[in-house]
Amino acid sequence: MIVQEIWDQFLHIAKEEAGSRVVETWFKAVSLVKWDPAKRIAYLQAPNKFVKDWITRNYLELIQLHLGRLLHTTGVTVSFAAESVHEKKVVSESTVVPATTVPSRSVPIRSSLVHANGHINRSYSFETFVVGPNNSLAYAAAQAVTERPGRVYNPLFLYGGSGLGKTHLMHAMGNEIKGRHKKASVLYQTADRFVNEFISAIRFDKIHKFQAKYKNVDVLLIDDIQFISNKDQTQEAFFHIFNTLYEGHKQIVFSSDTFPQNIEGIADRLKSRLAWGLVADLRVPTLETKIAILKKKAHIGNEPLSDEVAHFIANRVMANIRELEGALIRVMAFASLTQQKVTLELAEKVLADNRKKNNGYLDSNTVLKGLLKCYPYTFDQLKSKQRNKEISFVRQVAMFLIKELAGKSLRDIGEFLGGRNHATVMYAIDKIEQLMETDPEVRKRIKYIEREIHKLTSQ
């Protein structure tokens, strides 16, 4: 069935972008039941209202973006079919062009919704952001920026580890400014997407159009600015864009995983500009803040969450807010799909440490710890910019194993290993997969490492 093939290919793409855990928890419970090419409506069916509402709230733009590419159209609208609908109508094979005919280097077609909204995710707001001592300065600065964009804290630089709320604040600023100033041009862009767009502009001789796009915005939000490291031409182009916007009193906001002066591979003159305004950090939340975050997330999803369960989950997840929310999602989804109440016993069962009870995945730190038992390197060395042949190979093996055993997305893997972009991670995984098929010694070595990693989980 053509629609099933389309959905299967979407699941593959979603796994690369959002991670295996998201696909296993959410998208595999959903099916594409009908595609209306005339109205450009994709009809999806979810097993219950909880899954439908959560996907609509968190992943709607992801679905629109990639179904648009796979169906060779723009402006895709997603409609969830009623739960009572069982008839799955399929368009004729002549109507849908199979995704396998899409050239491997083609650029995904973005839905009109994403383009028109400046890539701003409307589900992020200041109201849904939980403030604590770990992020109060960043939150206050972000709110001040929305009141006087371009006039106070310009640029604003937010830094902190992965999953601590930087992206949430950036989207919240974008939404708030759009709400206050209807005609304002607000653009959110990840740094790696900025780099790819710049390369495409050079390749197709559209550099003037590229520069005009960025120099004419009122608010520019650049996420993960560290990804322009060691890209001299991109930095030069961005330097001039920054100067134009700053001199025009246009608001600029950056985020990074580290303090501006500590970002390696960025020219000193650009580093100094990154820190011209206010630099605010976001740290790991306290236990009390984590509990507040869980309670608010559950409230948004119209799901009751007892203090006892919230305390358990908050103590269980130490890393960041993204993993904290992921733990809550797994508990809520399991309760909904099995029609049980969210109790402490259920939460303990779903979040059990062993691999079988945790959707089949390990923690990234556990994977890396097992890997480094087999090689004379440290985590800091793998995160560094060292590129000698041996350490580069070990780094590629780490990326492959974290993808296989921890189920992380390409972006999460790149951030975990020193801020590499998704293209670098994809290349590494493809290379190791090829070596596993063609080189018996490599295959034997990696299987040995996997055994060492699994030994750690049984200790």
**Segment 178-202, tens digit of pLDDT:** 999 888 999 999 998 899 899 988 8
- Give the Cα separation of 242 and 47 in Å (integer): 48
Q: Among 19-28, 121-130, 133-142, 196-205, which stretch is predicted with the lowest mean pLDDT?
A: 19-28
Tell me, what's the pLDDT at 439?
Answer: 85
Looking at the DSSP assignment, which residues form a beta bridge with residue 44?
32, 80
Per cent of the chain over pLDDT 90 is: 24
Can you give the pTM of this predicted structure? Answer: 0.56
Tell me, what's the pLDDT at 220?
Answer: 96
Report residue 415's pLDDT band, with 50, 70 and 90 as the boundaries. Answer: confident
- Give the Cα separation of 108 and 124 in Å (integer): 24
| Residue 175 vs residue 457, higher pLDDT | 175
246-268: average pLDDT: 91
The two beta strands, 186-190 and 219-223, are parallel
- pLDDT for residue 110 is more than 70: no
Q: Among 182-191, 219-228, 253-262, 417-426, which stretch is predicted with the lowest mean pLDDT?
A: 417-426
| Residue 380 vs residue 362, higher pLDDT | 380
Q: Among 4-8, 63-67, 115-119, 269-273, which stretch is predicted with the lowest mean pLDDT?
A: 115-119
Nearest-5° Cα angle at 80, 121 to 25: 70
Report residue 96's pLDDT band, with 50, 70 and 90 as the boundaries. Answer: very low
- Give the Cα separation of 67 and 72 in Å (integer): 8
| Residue 300 vs residue 211, higher pLDDT | 211
319: closest CA among 412, 452, 454? 412
- Going along the chain from its start, the domains and CATH numbers come out as 2-88 (3.30.300.180), 136-282 (3.40.50.300), 287-350 (1.10.8.60), 372-457 (1.10.1750.10)
Task: Kindly report whether the peptide bond that precedes residue 47 is cis, defined as omega within 30 degrees of 0.
Answer: no
Tell me, what's the pLDDT at 253?
Answer: 97
Report residue 459's pLDDT band, with 50, 70 and 90 as the boundaries. Answer: low
Cα separation of the two ends of the chain? 47
Looking at the DSSP assignment, which residues form a beta bridge with residue 280?
158
Q: Among 11-25, 186-200, 246-260, 393-407, which stretch is predicted with the lowest mean pLDDT?
A: 11-25
Tell me, what's the pLDDT at 134?
Answer: 85
Tell me, what's the pLDDT at 60?
Answer: 87
Tell me, what's the pLDDT at 457?
Answer: 62
320-331: average pLDDT: 82
Report residue 257's pLDDT band, with 50, 70 and 90 as the boundaries. Answer: confident
